[in-house]
Structure 1
Amino acid sequence: MPLDPILFMGGSGAIGQHTARALRAVHPDVPLLIGGRDLARAQQAAEQIGGALGVAIDPKADDLGLGDRQISAVVVFYMDHALAGLRYAQTQGVPHLSISSGIFEIAPEIATYMHRPDAAPIVLGYEWMVGATTVSTLHIAKAFARVHDITVNALVDEQDSGGPTVAADFEHLSKMLPAALTRRDGAYIWREGDDARVSFRAVDGTRMEANGFSSIDVVGLAAATGAPNVQFNLASGVSSTRRQGRPKSTEIIIELAGEDLQGQPLRTRHAVVHPAGAALLTGLSVAMLLERLLGLDGQPPTPPGLYFPYQLLDACAFLKRLEQEGGQLSALQV
């Protein structure tokens, strides 16, 4: 049966276009609606993507201005403070995935879900790179019987802006929440000031100055592993590949400590690297989530519920696709 179009709200930006390419690479016939307030820009992006249609979005209208048009899913690539996309997805009974809200802004979405829990699957896609970090971390954690400490250090190349929408979202997050949600000794705390300033070694060993960041990865990884100590830190600078004279990349350094399956102390250090930057890695994650939500991967579509990305993404399949794109999850020296 032909699939109804997937609605990309704000899909004319870099991440939306990379998502479309990643999805089309495996499913070339999936129809797309590129929605935005600026119809001309949406149409231009749709033409560049190919096989897509640009449409005007009216967030104040119950039907988003789409009338009786049928869709199969809604993806929101910007901060939808009015939850227009979520309400529309619930009305249509189709999956909803939003990637831009902060950890402090999920209450409205959770409340909306709680009042209609059987309407549609809703994905809180606010993990770093929309699941690339948590999926990789939980894959590594399989070597542990017990995880005590999880430290995630993300390095974004200073040339990897991601476009104006991403920049505006980060500015909003920085203003609203300067402290960093962290789990320490089993309790959730807020790191700020000197307590939030850290340093870590990039893939090439260069010491990077970083600050704590309130990523929802912290609560997801703590819940999934039971680790009493979980923190996320973010640095901006020159990525390891660019220091080597190559194009920019995005790096995620994952450090775990605990006990192995035999009860012996174990420490690991890995890196997730995508050679083309943050937008392409994010687009890959969003594309694979859509495949899982809609059953394009050959499995039944995802039933209604509230999900983290790592609960839907298969680690082996994700890492295989990452490698096909030139990225990798690799072990580093502890």
Structure 2
Amino acid sequence: MSIDPVLLMGGSGAIGHQTARALRAACPDVPLLIGGRDLAKAQQAAERMGKAQGVVIDPHADDLGLGARPVSAVAIFYMDHALAGLRYAQKRGVPHLSISSGIFEIAPEIATYMHTPDASPIVLGYEWMAGATTVSTLSIAATFSRVHAISINALVDEQDTGGPTVAADFEHLNKMLPAALTRRDGAYIWREGEDSKVRFNAVDGTQIQASGFSSIDVVGLAAATGAPNVQFNMATGVSSTRRQGKPMSTEIIIELDGEGLKGEPLHTRHAIIHPAGAAPLTGLSVAMTLERLLGLDGQPPTPPGLYFPYQILDATGFLKRLEEEGGELRRL
């Protein structure tokens, strides 16, 4: 099928490159526009990706400086504080996906959506790895009749920098919101200080010191499962694979407590692992979300609405693609 280019704003970075790679694997003919402030950098990235063109983005222009150039979707890989990409997508009636804002910064996007809810599908892609965590967690939760507690513990290898844009985003998030939004006994609280510090076991059993992190995964998983206790913690250190003398990886430990389908007590512990780090895992999630939004998977395109990634992504298809890349959802 013929399709207009997908605009990747900030697409010259590591996650943009991995998104393009994942899109190419499933939909090799989809054209891309790599947007950025530096035309030369955008053009170089486009050349590496193939079937792509580099363009300069003007966030102050209603048309982003693109004129009448058609696009089929907009994906943003940096914090778009002016919501330039969102306004552009709504005016064009095309899907919008942003992955970099914090949980405390969603109000402007929600307000913009509420004023024109029928304009286009809007995805709040701020979940950890843009949906990889929630999709996997909910696939596990299907084996429970009731979920009492969900604990997500993400270990990012200290060598897995993700590029300057990712580093700047995390610096901003940590500065603006040091407390961690958590659901405890059915109420939302903010963990801070000693209350936010936890320990968890990595895939190889090594005990890791972590701190609470305000990820939108918490509210999404609480709403989807009804679990009265949901927390998200993050640590930076040495990944399990690198401790074994192998290349660094990214790992996300998922623990669920509750009742099984027959009412029996049930506790599970799984890990999402990607052998190449955070950027490829995030890129896979973004690519598959774009495929679903545009109907590139053979199903009808996603209608206008406000979505979490886990409402867009198909768990079976996602885990299959993850396995094809060498990653896995492993029961521990």
TM-score band w.r.t. shorter chain: over 0.9
Answer yes or no: is 1:246 the counterpart of 2:251: no
In 2, Cα distance between equivalents of 1:122 and 1:255: 29
Aligned-partner Cα distance in 2 for 1:293–1:277: 25
Q: Which residue pairs with 1:76 in the alignment?
A: 76
Cα deviations across residues 188-221 of structure 1 (Å, max 9, x unaligned)? 0000000000010000000000000000000000
Which residue of structure 2 lines up, in the alignment, with residue 183 of structure 1?
A: 183
Q: Deviations over 1:109-142 (max 9, x none)?
A: 0000000000000000000000000000000001
Q: Secondary structure at the match of 1:136?
A: helix
Q: What is the TM-score when the length of structure 1 is the normalising length?
A: 0.99
Question: 1:77 deviation in Å?
Answer: 0.3
Q: Distance in 1 between matches of 2:42 and 2:320?
A: 32
1:33-182 equivalence runs, <5 A: 33-182=33-182
For residues 138 and 126 of structure 1, the distance between their equivalents in structure 2, rounded to whole angstroms, comes to 17
Deviation per residue, 1:130-175 (Å, 9 max, x gap): 0000000000001100000000000000000000000000000000
- The amino acid of 1:142's aligned partner reads A
Cα distance in structure 1, aligned partners of 2:136 and 2:41? 35
User: In 2, distance between residues paired with 1:189 and 1:278?
Assistant: 28
Corresponding residue for residue 269 of structure 1: 269
Within-5 A mapping of 1:174-323:
174-323=174-323
Structure 1 residue runs of 4+, over 3 Å off?
none
Partner Cα distance (2:30, 2:220) in 1: 31
Q: Which amino acid in 2 is paired with 1:16? A: G
AA in 2 matched with 1:188 = Y
Q: 1:211, 1:103 → 2: CA distance?
A: 16
Aligned-pair Cα RMSD in Å: 0.4
The 1-side partners of 2:328 and 2:42 are apart by 33
Q: Structure 1: give runs of 5+ residues left out of the alignment.
A: none
Q: Distance in 1 between matches of 2:331 and 2:44?
A: 42
| Per-residue CA distance 1:26-47 (angstroms, 9 max, x = gap) | 1111000000111111111101
Rounded to whole Å, the distance in 1 between the matches of 2:280 and 2:163 is 12
Q: Normalised by the size of structure 2, how large is the TM-score?
A: 1.00
Q: What secondary structure does 2:156 align onto?
A: strand
Cα distance in structure 1, aligned partners of 2:249 and 2:315? 21
Query: Aligned equivalents of 2:320 and 2:50: distance in 1?
Result: 26
Q: Whole-Å Cα distance in 1 between the matches of residues 312 and 247 of structure 2?
A: 31
Aligned-pair distance for 1:2? 1.2
SS, match of residue 148 in structure 1: strand
Cα distance in structure 1, aligned partners of 2:246 and 2:266 = 34
